[in-house]
Amino acid sequence: MSIPSKIVSADINFKDPSSKQYKPILDEVINLVAKETNKPKEEIEKLFDKIYTKAKSNPGIAFPLRSSVFQLIDLLPPDKIPIEISLDEIDKVYNYIRIYIQMFRRIRDIFSGKIIRPVVIFVPNPLLDENSSFNSVTTGSASPNGDLIFNVNFIKKLVYIAELELKYKIIKIKSKIFESNGGKIQDKYVYVAFLIIHELFHLVQSDVEYLDKRAIQYICKNKEKYKATKNIPKTNCENNPLTLQIANQIQNIVADYFNNYNICRLGLPALPIGLFSNEINLEHMTYEQAYDV
């Protein structure tokens, strides 16, 4: 995948704010969680310390402090998150992104060349069959045929943390699609825009098929290098269920790292959660090098 158009800055460095900078946000969230869960503030503080200690020891977490605070927000029932969102406004965000970023105006399947016409679906949705896999989506997801599924409760959490991080000047928006830079999207929807662009990238790349195949071919060619794959028989390696499972897992991780980095190059601040790296991106390595990592 090539770097997207509308690049704002290549100066990207993923790191947490200082504890002092983030303390007002942490205090607000702890007070809210204690109030809405009817638990002592001290109990929530101890819980945060436990979450944060674990996050700091995980090299896969780019923002231990921010992500730990977001985990606290996860404890809130959706109706206790103190913000209101409009699905009509979210639709406007989606449509504006499709128009503003040229690569999203017409999306084609890499293999067939057919135009993909994405359909946005918000969940949980009582109109869907109770067994629908869509209702199990807890964040965002994209299907090969163009379904874009977004969990409304997750969107509320993203808007809430975005408002706090904007209020205390933790993040800076550089993209011109937002109101603070003359655009049409309200700043509070910056992380919602990030989520939407992330899923659109999956469609543009045909991740589910194209990158899976690329990962499968690489794994079979180099299977002796890895403990998880060295015992896969050479015969019919590309159709082996274990190969398919490993390739899908690796591809999802690598694609998320690359996509998230590219979104930040569009001028959007990084989400508090997700896969971000100063090294694992297309500026520093190929997909195959990232598979090895």
How large is the greatest C-alpha to C-alpha distance in the chain, in angstroms? 60
What local confidence, expressed as pLDDT, does residue 4 receive? Answer: 46
Q: Which token pair is 70?
A: 């977001």
Which span out of 139-148, 199-208, 256-265 was modeled with the highest average pLDDT? 256-265
Q: What pLDDT was estimated at residue 227? A: 78
According to DSSP, the β-strands at 147-151 and 119-123 are parallel
Where do the domains of the chain lie?
19-76, 83-205, 206-293
* Block residue for tokens 């100063």: 278
What's the confidence (pLDDT) of residue 7? 44
**Whether the predicted pLDDT of 54 surpasses 60:** yes
Whether pLDDT at 160 is above 80: yes
Q: Does the pLDDT of residue 281 top 70, yes or no?
A: yes
pLDDT at res. 121: 94
| DSSP assignments along 203-253, one per residue | HHHTIIIIIHHHHHHHHHHSGGG-TTTTTS-STTGGG-HHHHHHHHHHHHH
Percent of the chain scored above 90 by pLDDT? Answer: 59
Residues 78-91: pLDDT tens digits?
999 999 999 999 99
Amino acid 246: pLDDT: 85
pLDDT digits (tens, 9 = 90+) for 169-213: 999 999 999 999 999 999 999 999 999 999 999 888 766 666 677
Task: Enter the pTM of the model.
Answer: 0.91
Residue 182 backbone class (left: φ over 0; alpha: ψ -120 to 50; beta: rest): left
DSSP state of 271: P
CA distances to 4, 50, 78, 89 from 81, in Å:
34, 23, 6, 18
Does residue 3 carry a pLDDT above 50? no
Percent of the chain with pLDDT over 70: 94
